[in-house]
Structure 1
């Protein structure tokens, strides 16, 4: 997801909370940077501070809509009148949160927006005796609740969405880390190793040589 906020302290705090909840976050401080990021990446959602030094984000989002960009948008703003909210929605916003706001509410709203662009899937998915509850963000194996970190769940979620298909390292990095992550490092390999250990035997996350990983029931390669 993309976070557009010119207040450095607020941007840092919001991004940290979103990452702790398992979101990959790219941060920018103004509309030209946002425009470049949206041109390069396809985001599940974007959060815009409404009043930025480079302009009113409502006008910018309206231009996004006219050029066919449907990324879900949440506006953060201190402008709290009914007319301000109407302007935000009329300009193409999908949600509107007034400052000061509760961070857990922002995280919940971002999750709701991101799910609008997610691949359609059942609320609970089974792979062999592994049960993945996407709504509760819980994982069980043979009925036993497993303690996964937010990042481990994010990787497992991507693999489960493409169950029995190879998912590349690049796709996993892009989906589960922000642009500051270094794809050539072993960050993904370390996390997958930890995830396999927590999931237990028999192994469900297979290495696809030269590609990445796939989640599949036990059996021949």
Structure 2
């Protein structure tokens, strides 16, 4: 216990039982215990007991940086297989860059932002002063998207053992039926989710009636 006789704190730790705090979290209303905007962080270190990762991918609503991060983690488990259900399809619509402009909004409310522009490619202030994209900003974003595209083609080409021309042809053909993806070697096989689960149980020696995770 911390000393109460000194005028200044001693630096010693004061022990408090976590029971009361735990009970408040246990019986408290969810909207009172977890604030809006809270991020849940789950750390999963590689454990020798973990012999596989079953990654169930659904529609992703994230940016390019997050996709790259996901890909790096998948590559850590290099012996991965890719399955898709029979009713799946694949389509690439291209890359986009989005930005908002508030010049019209400020104009309506009578606000005039004061922005000092240093160079024509320094477009951060455009969001506050313009109603649309400047040619310089468009040039920067186009260059950025082109670089991301080239980087993506290069990585997929090396990963799949295909030429860049094959990758670009795959992109330009648009929507693919699932059979075509298997035929051209883009996925391992066509299986439903329960089939993949049963296959993993068999490989890991887990009884069929038991849960995989």
Larger RCO, structures 1/2 (Cα 8 Å, 6+ apart):
2
Greater Cα radius of gyration, structure 1 or 2: 2
TM-score when normalising by structure 1: 0.24
TM-score when normalising by structure 2: 0.25
